[in-house]
Amino acid sequence: MSIFEGAGVALITPFTETGEIDYKRLGELLEFQIAGHTDAIIVCGCTGEAAALTPEERRSCIRYTVETVAHRIPVIAGAGTNITKTAIEWSRDAVECGADAILSITPYYNKGTQKGLIAHYKAIAESVPVPVMLYNVPSRTGVNLLPQTAVTLAKECANIVAIKEASGDISQIADLAALADGCLDIYSGNDDMIVPLLSLGGKGVVSVLSNVMPEETHRMVMEYLHGNIQEPARLQLLTLPLIRALFCVVNPIPVKAALALMGKCGGTLRAPLTELEQESPELLERLKQEMKQLKLL
């Protein structure tokens, strides 16, 4: 059984002006997502600035999310890091906090060979009783989880059941789908490739766009899965300019700016990230215009 089908939101972590986790805003964002028919919550991932959270904050954020969601939809906790021992500890912490599954990014900086990645993920999978979603994002980590490696892991570890594919390489994703032949659920990690990935048999998306357009992103996936190809294609093309604006600088700077414009968070980020207005007033204006086009403002 899949962890979820549809659109899972790669949720931001809202902070107060003094830099603490804003649990009131987090609760409001979770309810906004559920009301918008989001199919899963992905908490403490890259969009959630997980690398800037302390272990205590990570546990608290996951626990709060699990308790607030209260089994209405799956909660997937980001638990990956570049040290295998620490990734195991974080994965166990997420399970103890009640996460339904974990998302585990490939080790960054020290990276690892393909054999090293197999050993890394096997150790993590064996340490927890919940489903594991691999996360391939070479632009952030500097390492590419190859299709054969992902399929080997899925076949050798019963709880490695899914992958968030954010390589941006549709040929690689096609190779992965062909090799997997159904043994690994594939989710798009790129909002501009949702429909192309679904056409290769994907189950959905782990989406940044869903932060601001949960209902439309959910519909894009579910209409496709129910056989209506035209509406998802229309939505994919309609949202492309906003998607581009949401990635005009490093994520999650623009999406936090978008949510701040919508009055849903304060927009505060943790250093070294800076707010979009500080980065570029021109890019902020571009984001505003794209949001107005879609009647988000």
pLDDT above 90 for 257:
yes
Residue 81 has a pLDDT of 95
pLDDT digits (tens, 9 = 90+) for 113-125: 999 999 999 999 9
Residue 292 falls inside a structural domain: no
This prediction has a pTM of: 0.97
**What's the structural domain count of the chain?**
1
Amino acid at 143: V
Residue 115 has a pLDDT of 97
Residue 245 falls inside a structural domain: no
Residue 218 has a pLDDT of 98
Contact 215, 190 (CB under 8 A): no
pLDDT above 90 for 1:
no
190 exposure class (CB count in 10 Å sphere: 0-12, 13-18, 19+): buried
Instruction: Give me the mean pLDDT over the 131-156 stretch.
Output: 97
Contact 35, 218 (CB under 8 A): no
Residue 5 has a pLDDT of 98
Assigned token pair, 37: 């028919």
Residue 93 falls inside a structural domain: yes
What stretches of the chain show up as alpha helix (H) in DSSP? 23-35, 55-69, 84-96, 114-127, 138-141, 147-156, 170-180, 194-198, 214-225, 230-246, 253-261, 276-279, 281-293
- Domain range for 91 is 6-226
Average pLDDT, whole number, for the chain? Answer: 97
The structure tokens 């998802």 sit at 232
Residue 62 has a pLDDT of 98
Helix pair angle (230-246, 281-293), 10° resolution: 160
187 exposure class (CB count in 10 Å sphere: 0-12, 13-18, 19+): buried
Residue 278 falls inside a structural domain: no
Instruction: Please choose, from the candidates 6, 8, 19, 27, the residue with its C-alpha nearest in 3D space to the C-alpha of residue 211.
Output: 8
Could you check whether the bond before residue 252 is cis, i.e. omega within 30 degrees of 0? Answer: yes
Residue 259's CB is within 10 A of a number of other CB atoms, namely: 21
Instruction: Give me the mean pLDDT over the 7-23 stretch.
Output: 97
Residue 34 falls inside a structural domain: yes
CATH number at residue 120: 3.20.20.70
Question: Where is average pLDDT lowest: 85-89, 192-196, 264-268?
Answer: 264-268
Enzyme catalytic residues: 135, 164
**8: three-class secondary structure by DSSP:** strand
Q: Is the Cα torsion angle 188, 125, 58, 84 positive or negative in sign? A: negative
Residue 289 falls inside a structural domain: no
CA 81 to chain centroid:
15
The structure tokens 């894009």 sit at 220
Residue 132 falls inside a structural domain: yes
DSSP string over 233-269: HHHHHHHHHHHHHHTSSSTTHHHHHHHHHTTSS----
Contact 225, 213 (CB under 8 A): no
pLDDT above 90 for 27:
yes
Residue 259 falls inside a structural domain: no
pLDDT digits (tens, 9 = 90+) for 28-60: 999 999 999 999 999 999 999 999 999 999 999
* pLDDT tier at 109, thresholds 50, 70, 90: very high
Instruction: Give me the mean pLDDT over the 152-156 stretch.
Output: 98
Instruction: Give me the mean pLDDT over the 84-112 stretch.
Output: 97
Contact 123, 152 (CB under 8 A): no
Helix pair angle (55-69, 23-35), 10° resolution: 40
